[in-house]
Chains A and B, each alone.
Chain A
């Protein structure tokens, strides 16, 4: 004969007679109600701990992000070729202006040189077009005859006196 469901249910319901000791129940209740408890308005300890841990995690993450930004900023300041002191945009601009001005000066000098060269070229051209008496044989021979005549008419002594007088005059 097998036990039926109702019989088994009866047996199981009989366990309801199990009860705690009255002394234990009284003592336990007093201890529990006397224990400090978080009020409804305040944050339970476990929630506060979880919030605090979450806040700490967020703060640590934010601090790490800020640290990364600071390090990358200083790294770019020190290492970036675009930000080398010699390539400071303001300095570059100033140097460019100086170069421009020096270039302009040079250009103006070149211009003046060019003008002088042109003038000289025109003068030389004029000269080249004219008869050069000092290179003309007729003129040179005529001047030689003139020098010879001067030598004949004057004695060497007169010539020397003339030279001494000229020297005295020049020395004054």
Chain B
């Protein structure tokens, strides 16, 4: 139950309702959760609102975390994933890629552009390709490559088997490459 950055002592205090201890958890994992949610919904205000809901729910139910059998990060990702699912269920509207506001455009500019097919590949294209994936594939790619979770942690957060996560990852990588190659060909 102990992550690399959170000690068991802090975790126990947070579970006991210590606000300062939970504040440490918040500072540690809030950027990750926000990033995960933003890459899923691609809208800053919605991502902020959902991130706030995730940590509010975690604060209210942290005593039940012990029964989950997950690391604290996996537990938070699980809450975030469910919130995003509920968000899309209630919204019931598709967001056109053209309508996506890239609030983090400046942050997404690559320090070292990647030269592929003699053309720079931007992170906006990669994110567009990411949004074209199946939701389960998106989750695996974000957790494994963006947030650096292990296959086991990713499996626990997604309530799937580790083998399933590896298969999803393999297919997601192949699909991303295919989409990026197609996008590059169309742009050219």
Contact = CB atoms under 8 A, between A and B. Distances in A.
A11 B114 contact: yes
The SS class assigned to the A binding surface is helix
A106 to B, nearest CB: 86
A41 B47 CA distance: 33
A108 B157 CA distance: 100
A8 B116 contact: no
Contacts of A135: none
A5 interface: yes
Contact of A44 (B38, B61, B142): B61
B35 interface: yes
B123 A28 contact: no
Contact of A21 (B48, B63, B110): B48
A172 interface: no
The SS class assigned to the B binding surface is helix
Given A3-B177, A20-B48, A12 B17 contact: no
Given A18-B107, A44-B64, A32 B177 contact: no
A14 interface: yes
A32 B26 contact: yes
Interface residues of B, number: 47
Given A2-B177, A29-B26, A15 B146 contact: yes
B121 A16 contact: no
Contacts of B84: none
A32 B16 CA distance: 16
A19 B35 contact: yes
A98 B107 CA distance: 110
Contacts of B44: 21
A75 to B, nearest CB: 48
Contacts of B114: 3, 7, 10-11
Interface residues of A, number: 33
Given A3-B116, A12-B126, A20 B31 contact: yes
Interface string B103-143: 01001101000101100010100110000000000000110
B15 interface: yes
A11 B126 contact: yes
A11 B26 contact: no
Contact of A8 (B34, B48, B176): B176
Contacts of B108: 14-15, 17-18
Contacts of B123: 11, 14-15
Interface in B143-164: 145-147
Interface in B47-76: 47-48, 51-52, 55-56, 59-61, 63-64
Contact of B59 (A8, A21, A32, A39): A32
Contacts of A24: 48
Contacts of B19: 33
Interface of A: 1-3, 5, 7-21, 24-25, 28-29, 31-33, 35, 37-40, 44, 46
User: Which 5 pairs, one residue from A and one from B, show the smallest C-beta to C-beta distance?
Assistant: A12-B145, A20-B34, A33-B19, A28-B52, A15-B146
11 contacts: A9-B145, A12-B126, A12-B145, A14-B123, A15-B146, A18-B39, A20-B51, A28-B55, A29-B26, A32-B55, A33-B59
